[in-house]
Chains A and B, each alone.
Chain A
Amino acid sequence: MSDMACIYEMNMIDENEQMENDILSGIGMDVMLCLMDGISTGREIAGRIGVPNYSVQLYLQRFVKAGLVREDKEIIQNGQIEKQYALISDEIEIMNRIRGTEIERRRKVELSGQHFAYLTKKAIKNVNTDSSKPHKIKSYFMKAKKSDMEKFKQEIDVLFEKYQALEDLDEDETYSLFTILAPYGKGENENEDIKI
């Protein structure tokens, strides 16, 4: 009498559908951010995140299977095969237009959101180390009319174009401007001035 249905395939990872669709669960996003940062080996990623090598491999294999990451094998000394990983596409960053099936859209939105958060965190930390340079970090949550927000959005677009027009490629310093004008939900105000 058998214990279970025969496993015919030789894949190292064969999960249920829910897990396949939720590839950014657990430390998946941390692994993805390491890859975006250019870190390419499982050992380095495990060291950066502080988790066992084997668990990083789970997420890397999920990404490879999902077609997000490429796996390159390189034989190193003593007969050990080192694997290096790289993102398939540079487009796994902030995307203005998100297309695809519902599952793909959810995945991309999650990736975009996390990447955005990563970038803003980096900018805030830079302010902390160099507060003499121009900076402004502020947030405000409020209830407002949709029509007023639409007008305000147009003003933000104009302001953003004005900012981009100030670009000077001969300068050394890079500045960042992030804008998030978005519905936040129907809860209470969460006003908080972020002071550095």
Chain B
Amino acid sequence: MTSSTPDIIDHLVGIIPGSPLDAIRAARQQARDNAQASYLALFETTETENVSLVERFAVACFVAGLHGQDKELAFYASKLEAMAPGLPAVIAAEVALGRAHGPAGHYPDGPLSVENTVGATYAAGARDKLGARLAAALEHAHMLVIRPRDADAAALKALLDAGWSTTGIVTLSQLVSFLAFQLRVIHGLRALSRNLAA
């Protein structure tokens, strides 16, 4: 892992050294360092046998887009464009297909069934351009982002059938789930930056 990559959350929120938010993040330095280490483990790894870097950044663009976080989408898209020219535009069209509100989904049959909500489903559009593996990954990512409680073993079977290994599925799951965290920290700190105590 490199140490030359600037802290991604600081960068995207616009936190500058010596600012109040810099001090807030420094008060939880281990969380700050390990959120960054998580980013590096997922996006600057050399172990790409199970999930390629193009797949990682393509899924990141899709997930940031589903969250409606355009600045973060642009960040991941710029990295993807450098390694797969034209793919960010394809992903942008998938985001337009997949945008929805969450969390939704169903509970195990029983008293909680009254809380079931039917979430928007998504089927990859440009399957020819995405390929079977990436199309399956986007469909899984959509479920995790929008309908997390609809997740089931059949969804993992669909990934296996599309050529994903068990270890690849673990990495993909971590990547989407990490982004659900990272995007919310960025969203939250950006809101806090506008509302700091006088």
Bound pair (A, B)? no
B: residues with CB less than 8 A from A are none
